[in-house]
Amino acid sequence: MDDRMNAPFFSIVIPTYNRADQLPVAIASVREQPFEDFEIVVVDDGSADNTRTVVESIGDARIRYHYQTNAGVTMARNAGAALARAPYLIFLDSDDRFTRGYLTKLHQGFTSGTFRMAFGFAKYYDPSGNLVRNHVPAKDNNKLYPPLTGAYAIDRELYLAMGGYDSQMAFSENTEFFLRLQVEKRVTEDVVFLVPDEGVLVNFRDTRERFNAYSAARYRSIGYFLKKHAAYFTQTPAAFVDYKSVYAVGAFQHGEYAEARRTMRQVIGKKPTRWKSYFQYLLFAIPALGKWYWRNPDATKEKETENNPQNQTKRMNGIGQDIGRYTASRSALKRLRTFLFHPGCRFMVMHRLCNRFPALHPVGLLARLWHKRLKVKFGFQIPYTTSIQPGFFLGHFGGIVINKQAKIGRNCNVAQGVTIGQVNRGEKVGCPTVGDRVWIGANAVVVGGVTIGNDVLIAPLTYINFDVPDHAVVIGNPAKIVSQSGSAGYNNNLV
């Protein structure tokens, strides 16, 4: 009884398995929070390394260590929740970390009303420190968008009443848990608050090696998920199509060709206008073709990935966002017209396709040939290996040169004659890193290992070889910062 009366406000549950080298960073991100009324429950899921020694060496009375025989991350989280003393739970993976003000914002929210849950953001970073995905918290029509573990806090009694995570789910356990909350109507919008400016920073782990290592568990989890919530999927066609399609591919990859075809027929029956389903069914019907299509990356792709680590995290899903910068219309016809008649849009679509498909893939080969043709025809000297975030806008063509080592943020505009290049000696060796929503005018030059902040406006004919802070307006040669008005109003149709 006394233990509960003296309980902290938050219990941070950190499941871990053989991550003694990364665990201290996760723990430090909690201990460094300005809000200090918390406990940390480290659940060691059968590690064979020196995890216990690492935890005990920290010497913080707020940290409790619990060891269990290896049972999987969902069971480890449930064990931590059972041991927790605080009224609110937060789960943190042992290789992720909180932003500094996260607990403060959560505490302010929970003490300001009768809230039972809170969502923060989840930002994913690749091994080079590049932001590759930003999961923004949202709620709409009582549909709770399942955030990554760590990006939400929940009333402990509610979590335990729901039975915690389903131990059968090796993948998508968050999705399954939040679906149960939604179906059972345990949580509605009025008891959930959002923390859009704080959350969890995630080490991007969506690699092919990880997928291959756990693909069998992933396949089983999705199959179990579909059966467990069959009634929900029957009533929700969009979710049915999405999850059944993933399950069908998993069945094929595990040699269950008949199951793959049967499942894809269900998808086609539910949504006959989805052209991709027919293509996938063809691959399932001709296993040799399907095996080739879903094969491991060929030697060419592996070489590209080795030489350009950023390629590992580039995906084709930036295409729609790139097109969205050129037209605000959602009409498929208008978007197709934009693609066909705007050189910059066409070039960026090929750029994304080159990064999505390996060189020997038919689409990858065609995209590379078309990309090269557009480079010559319109003067876009931008290698497809260049790291460019979604929403890149090439307003005019001609004489645009961007080094392959440069990094370009989201929603950036580049005009004709712009050079973003490399410096080979001196203090500024390297290539520029350009932030989000940067507008670069005609014939401007940005060179060297410099950082251009977010919302910067670079005037035409400007030469920059120094770091530029956020919201700056830079003019001239040599360049000068003349105001802090930034690029507001210059970059349109942001995505």
Give the angle 268-272-275 at the CA atoms, nearest 5°: 90
- The pair of structure tokens assigned to 211 is 């997928």
Nearest residue to 273 (alpha-carbon basis) of 332, 335, 337, 316? 332
Domain limits of the chain? 2-203, 208-293, 318-483
| Architecture of the 208-293 domain | Alpha Horseshoe (1.25)
Across-strand partners of 413?
393, 439
Nearest residue to 345 (alpha-carbon basis) of 376, 319, 383? 319
DSSP notation for 110-172 = HTTSS--EEEEEEEEE-TTS-EEEEE---EETTEE--PPTTSEEEEHHHHHHTTSS-TT-SSS
Whether 2-203 shares its CATH topology with 318-483 is answered no
Spell out the per-residue pLDDT of the chain, length 495, in tens: 445 568 999 999 999 999 999 999 999 999 999 999 999 999 999 999 999 999 999 999 999 999 999 998 899 999 999 999 999 999 999 989 999 999 999 999 999 988 999 988 888 887 777 777 777 776 654 455 555 667 889 999 999 999 999 998 888 888 889 888 888 877 777 888 888 888 888 876 544 455 555 577 778 889 999 999 999 999 989 889 989 998 998 899 889 999 999 999 999 999 998 888 898 898 899 888 788 776 543 333 333 333 333 333 333 447 878 888 888 877 777 888 888 889 999 999 999 889 888 888 888 899 999 999 999 999 999 999 999 999 999 988 889 999 999 999 999 999 999 999 999 988 889 999 999 999 999 999 999 999 999 999 999 999 999 999 999 999 999 999 999 999 988 988 887
3-state SS assignment for residue 183: helix
Nearest residue to 34 (alpha-carbon basis) of 96, 92, 106? 106
Across-strand partners of 373?
none
Cα dihedral sign, 345-340-353-323 = positive
Q: Which residue carries 């094929």 as its tokens?
A: 252
- The pair of structure tokens assigned to 198 is 């704080």
* 269: DSSP letter: H
Question: What pTM was estimated for this model as a whole?
Answer: 0.61
Alpha carbons 426 and 213: distance in angstroms, whole number: 45
Q: Are 26 and 14 within 8 A, CB to CB?
A: yes
Q: Give the CA diameter of the chain.
A: 76
Give the angle 123-126-128 at the CA atoms, nearest 5°: 125
Torsion of CA 430, 380, 409, 324, to 10 degrees: 180
Distance from chain centroid for Cα 266: 30
3-state SS assignment for residue 340: helix
For the sheet with 413-414, list strands across it: 393-394, 413-414, 439-440, 457-458, 473-475, 480-483
User: What does DSSP say about strands 152-155 and 473-475: parallel, antiparallel, or unpaired?
Assistant: unpaired
Q: Are 470 and 453 within 8 A, CB to CB?
A: yes
Q: Which residue carries 């920059």 as its tokens?
A: 464
Torsion of CA 29, 34, 37, 38, to 10 degrees: -10
Q: What phi-psi label fits residue 46: left (phi over 0), alpha (psi between -120 and 50 degrees) or beta?
A: left
Q: Which residue carries 């931590």 as its tokens?
A: 80
Which CATH class name applies to 2-203? alpha beta
Return the CATH fold of 318-483. UDP N-Acetylglucosamine Acyltransferase; domain 1 (2.160.10)
Give the angle 48-53-54 at the CA atoms, nearest 5°: 95
